[in-house]
Structure 1
Amino acid sequence: MTKAIRINRVGGPEVMELVDVDLPPPGPGEAQVRHGAIGLNFIDVYFRTGLYPQPLPGGLGMEGAGTVEAVGQGVTEVKVGDRVAYAGRPNGAYAEARNMPASQLLVLPEKIGFDIAAAMMLQGLTVQYLLHRTVHLKAGDTILFHAAAGGVGLIACQWAKVLGVTLIGTVGSDEKAALATENGADHVINYNRENFTERVREITGGKGVCAVYDSIGKDTFTASLDCLAPLGTMVSFGNASGPVPPVALSELNNRGSLFITRPSLGAYMATREDLEAAAKSLFGVVNSGAVKIDVRQRYNLADVAQAHIDLEARKTTGSTIVLP
């Protein structure tokens, strides 16, 4: 038996229950991982509330790090005793231990501990594809990144600096503004005091940015389009404030032949080759110290409901982990 969070219905944080579950031996192609730390991400809220559907009853959590305790038939990617981490489906990381497809597991470098690994895999791999593949950024480009003091945002602030990209970040408080600045944001806009569209135009001399990265959704989407330079790209990769409303294609034309995309980690990491290449890139910038992972909140597995409450209230900054 192992302890794990299960939900039988969608809803608020109260639907999450800590229960004992049977953990069978890993099947073919699977490895059993004993978690040292578990990542907490806003996508977990989407599954809990039903915005992203999944079969019920089910688990939550898409990110973890730990030690391989057993492997199933045909597994070649990892072996018993390996220190590993992962990010992606199937859900179920909120658990002391679980079976995972071995093809999704990555062996950790010696310098990266479980806390850092659990805090960086989903967010770090997300930033990797956003900055390197969704838009092919080059030195001298200017981008707008919403929620710059969140876990993804702080990694993006640092990684943009590595690439020579000017990052304008938005935040909701002076404390978060200072945090984004400390992590490399070139300009920070407090959207509770300033109109971010007007400030972006001021900062760029009226030109706009080549890309907007938006995980907020409904509240920021339309105004973000007005921050883009002609031929710019709107990257909508989250819905923290609610789903983005329908947009007419003519609006993209009216604003300068804009591009729009709704990327996902699963699509960008669909092959083992892509996953290993992205992880090599992420491990490289973390090992070098160019990107530092800031774990600012820790919760016990039994207290994960409070973690969700704090996450949804935007009380968290940086990365958050859950300890089994």
Structure 2
Amino acid sequence: MNRFRFISVAKRSMSSLSGSSMPKTQKVILINDVGDYDVIQYENYAVPLINDNEILIKNKFAGVNFIEAYFRKGIYPAQLPYLLGREATGVVVAKGHGVSNFQVGDKVGYLSGATFAQYTKYPAVGKIVKLPSNASDEKLKLYTAGLLQGLTALTFIQDAYEVKKDDYILLYAAAGGVGLIMTQLLKRKGAHTIAVVSNEEKRKLVQEFGAEYVINSSDEDILGKVLQITNGRGVDSVFDSVGKDTFEISLEALKIKGTFVSFGNASGPIPPFPPTMLSPKNIKFVRPQLYGYITEPADWERYSKDLLDLLETGDLKILINKTYPLEAYKQAARDLESRKTTGKLVLEIPQ
């Protein structure tokens, strides 16, 4: 029997919860403006009130993701002040009168905004999963580190481009959080991964995680190496999280009828381009986001179950590079965006 219980989407009522004894304020990470690291603030903020069909989660760990930089820089719009964060694990500390599927004390993992905070309110049905009651803090940290990026990797190699055995796949930022997960999943599918990294230390790491070929972009020609590896044919698909700087290389690296999966802006957004650029090789171009693949309850249940099973059995390894206290998120952001890290960064939330 599976030890995880999966929750699907439903509508919320708007009635209020009475008698809550929760603190009135909490510590959070937010931005009040767009810009550089100086707009990141560690502040006191109101603990959210919950309604009849919501739960209040006291967060233990939250994952750090590159998407926070896109909101901070104004690449993605946000209503200010904006609480950062996209995923967390924690414990249910209060529930609305209409909630029957969670109890106070339940350990949960979930996807949501505003998770760089001591408390997050969440609908009792949503992108949330109940975790084993005996899960240790280290296990909660593992679930946190694997949740968003693991689901991203799983859905992208199935739905954005369905990877098949013996496909040649060009994967950028292969030593990052998504990259290391995707490298393992591609190997499980029997694909030939051509991993792009920025130094020799990262080369060794992605080889340990299953990459068949590795290109060091600091001193090797990406396109030349791809064509050499594929005997001039090109790759079946590119998974490009870099954006502007690698766009044209990725187009050239694809074979006829290849698929370009663009899912990041690490070097900046791809400039507008005419669709006719795709015509010479009949290239498919997709710009996916995770939530489009897990909107339906059945899809959420399938993918979240697959991910947690992989984590529980140890078939999917998650490299946690470093754990920072919540108040040190600014340094975590600097480290991530300067490409100093590998794997996943996690924030520990003060209790």
Q: Shorter-normalised TM-score: what interval? A: over 0.9
The structural deviation recorded for 1:215 is 0.6
* Contact kept in structure 1, 2:170 and 2:237, CA below 8 Å: yes
Q: Which runs of 4+ in 1 moved over 6 A?
A: none
- 2:128 maps to what in 1? 105
The structural deviation recorded for 1:119 is 0.8
- 2:321 maps to what in 1? 296
Give me the whole-angstrom Cα distance separating, in 2, the residues matched to 1:315 and 1:283.
28
Query: Are residues 1:241 and 2:267 paired?
Result: yes
What TM-score comes out, normalization by structure 2 length? 0.88
Give me the whole-angstrom Cα distance separating, in 1, the residues matched to 2:273 and 2:39.
33
In structure 2, give the amino acid aligned to 1:132. Answer: Q
Give me the whole-angstrom Cα distance separating, in 1, the residues matched to 2:313 and 2:253.
33
* Contact kept in structure 2, 1:217 and 1:239, CA below 8 Å: yes
Of the candidates 136, 151, 170, which is equivalent to residue 144 of structure 1?
A: 170
* Contact kept in structure 2, 1:106 and 1:276, CA below 8 Å: no
Give the 5 Å matches for 1:148-163: 148-163=174-189
The structural deviation recorded for 1:180 is 0.7
In structure 2, give the amino acid aligned to 1:45. Answer: A
Of the candidates 20, 29, 34, which is equivalent to residue 5 of structure 1?
A: 29
Give me the whole-angstrom Cα distance separating, in 2, the residues matched to 1:264 and 1:147.
17
Of the candidates 46, 59, 62, which is equivalent to residue 70 of structure 2?
A: 46
Give me the whole-angstrom Cα distance separating, in 2, the residues matched to 1:276 and 1:68.
21
Report the secondary structure of 1:127's partner residue.
helix
Query: Are residues 1:321 and 2:346 paired?
Result: yes
Give me the whole-angstrom Cα distance separating, in 2, the residues matched to 1:114 and 1:221.
37
In structure 1, give the amino acid aligned to 2:275. Answer: L
* Contact kept in structure 2, 1:78 and 1:105, CA below 8 Å: no
Query: Are residues 1:200 and 2:221 paired?
Result: no
Give me the whole-angstrom Cα distance separating, in 2, the residues matched to 1:178 and 1:78.
44
Of the candidates 190, 194, 200, which is equivalent to residue 164 of structure 1?
A: 190
Instruction: Rate the CA distance shift 1:172–1:71 in 2: closer, same or farther, 3 A.
Output: same
> Rg bigger for which structure?
2
Instruction: Rate the CA distance shift 1:250–1:113 in 2: closer, same or farther, 3 A.
Output: same
Give me the whole-angstrom Cα distance separating, in 1, the residues matched to 2:99 and 2:165.
41
Give me the whole-angstrom Cα distance separating, in 2, the residues matched to 1:229 and 1:3.
50
* Contact kept in structure 2, 1:77 and 1:105, CA below 8 Å: no
RMSD (Å) for aligned C-alpha atoms: 1.5
What TM-score comes out, normalization by structure 1 length? 0.95
Query: Are residues 1:311 and 2:333 paired?
Result: no
Percent identical residues:
40
The structural deviation recorded for 1:183 is 0.5
Matched residue count:
321
In structure 1, give the amino acid aligned to 2:122. Answer: M
Gaps of 5+ in 1: none
The worse-fitting range, judged by mean Cα deviation, of 165-174 and 18-27 is 18-27
